[in-house]
Amino acid sequence: MRATGSWSVPPERLELRFTDKKPAFSKAEAFAEASRCLYCHDAPCTIACPTSIDIASFIHKIATGNYRGSARTILKSNLLGASCARVCPVEVLCEGACVYMDWGRKPIEIGRLQRFAMEQGRSVELLPRQEKKSESIGLVGGGPASLACAGTLALLGYETVIYEKSQLPGGLNVSGVAPYKIRAEDVLDEVKFIQSLGVQIQTGVELGRDFSGEELLAKHAAVFFAPGLGADSLRGVPGADGSSVVGAVDWIADMKLRSEAALEGVSSAVVVGGGNTALDAVQELASLGIPEVTLVYRRSEEKMPGYEHEWERAKEKRVRLLAERAVSEIHRDSSGKMRSISLLRTENGRSTAQEAGELPCQLIVVATGQERLASLAALFPKVQCDEKGRVVADPETMATGNPRVFTGGDCYNGGKEVVNAVDDGQRAARAIDRLLRGEN
Ligand code: SF4
């Protein structure tokens, strides 16, 4: 079903049981925090930001009560400043680089100040627009990379149309980010902001099903290809085809957008994987009151690719780790209901024949690295993927092997942060503009 209007989420959803990890500042709190900033020259926080937001400047504007000016400073560098304020891993980016860290003191809470500026000052009128141009650009996927790219192109005067296969735009921001960081309705607010810049969004339409790559290229002067990544699976494990085995992205989307039914009868849940998505999923399951939450990871604890601070938080929530293990079989009762799983020991990430016991389990969330969408990329002539299934592109321009097809976001970088997707999208928009003006 194709939809182009406004979007909403169900009023009853599990994500409403989560409280904000970093609640909004009041005006007095924002002023106090902004006044701590030293407004450093060549500020390391800005250098650490993938979109190079002038952090000292936007914080100074908060301290002087110029909230619209503060929001403008952020939006000039990052159109998705509102969601980045909430979902960025600031501990390893701007706040991690703050000079206060060098003195063993608490860094400036840049993420919360950015959220404050966005909530108090964001407005469409803040951004200058160029005169209308005749060309249109088609964007595949409605996630952060496409939203940032389309918004930038719309401000440059181009007609832009986003094609999103699911019923809600926003990509992983709306369905895949942990609810204690941001809720779906806040993401949809930001989508509406991007729409108000002149971006058209069609949902429920899919490349390869509703239109081909060539049709898209015939209709638009250029295409931005950013469909994200594919689904997780436990392919080949006996019993994995039945119910209660879900990919992490689907699980987080279910939990964010649906009500309690998804957890009925679950007293022991297993998350498979060791990356940040897996760490989000274990924390969510534990916070939702599942008594036993276990992370099963193929390698050692030290080799887990997820952020250490997220794993520390998971441990505080009594999440148990079974490292160097892999799920070898899923056992079900006669009605097909999951009751337990068998595990094997692993060595260097590969399963051995050595059994590692059985674990009661009624739900498995699989976060083993999402499948790449190489087959979709192949729908465009000369667009290629590397051996890991990531779309190959020039990192300066985001141009693929096809001079009219650009890319960015997870399908290009294999699954990084929202802020990296935004940076890719904005860089691609500027390169598309140069191409269409004959400068490339
Ligand atoms: Fe302010 Fe810290 Fe950035 Fe310096 S490094 S400008 S103190 S936020």
Total of domains in the chain: 3
Contact 114, 83 (CB under 8 A): no
In this prediction, residue 8 has a pLDDT band, given cuts at 50, 70 and 90, of: confident
Can you tell me which residue has the tokens 């608490």?
A: 106
> Which of 404, 6, 318, 343 lies closest to 192, judged by CA?
6
The verdict on residue 9 lying in a domain is no
Among protein residues, the one whose CA lies closest to atom 5 of ligand 1: 98
Q: What is the Å distance from ligand 1's center to 143 Cα?
A: 30
For the CA of 46, the nearest atom of ligand 1: 3
CA angle 232, 236, 238 (to 5 degrees): 110
What are the tokens at 231?
A: 């689904």
C-alpha–C-alpha distance, residues 421 and 147, integer Å: 10
Residue 372, pLDDT above cutoff 50: no
For position 319, what pLDDT does the model report? 97
As for ligand 1, residues whose beta carbon falls within 6 Å of it are 37-40, 43-45, 55-56, 59, 98-100, 108, 110
Mutation pick for ligand 1 pocket among 35, 38, 70, 93 (CB with most ligand atoms within 8 Å): 38
The verdict on residue 351 lying in a domain is yes
In this prediction, residue 322 has a pLDDT band, given cuts at 50, 70 and 90, of: very high
The number of beta carbons lying within 10 Å of the beta carbon of residue 275 is 19
Q: Beta strands 405-407 and 222-225: pairing type? A: parallel
Tens digit of each residue's pLDDT (9 = 90 or more) over 271-286: 998 888 889 899 989 9
**pTM over 0.95, yes/no:** no
Residue 182, pLDDT above cutoff 60: yes
Q: What is the Å distance from ligand 1's center to 100 Cα?
A: 8
The verdict on residue 236 lying in a domain is no
Tens digit of each residue's pLDDT (9 = 90 or more) over 35-88: 999 999 999 999 999 999 999 999 999 999 999 999 999 999 999 999 999 999
CATH classification of the domain holding 343: 3.50.50.60
For position 230, what pLDDT does the model report? 63
Residue 1, pLDDT above cutoff 50: no
Do 327 and 214 fall into the same domain?
no
Do 102 and 139 fall into the same domain?
no
The verdict on residue 8 lying in a domain is no
Among protein residues, the one whose CA lies closest to atom 2 of ligand 1: 98
Higher-pLDDT residue of 243, 83: 83
Helix, coil or strand: residue 241: coil
Q: What is the Å distance from ligand 1's center to 98 Cα?
A: 5
The verdict on residue 333 lying in a domain is yes
For the CA of 56, the nearest atom of ligand 1: 6
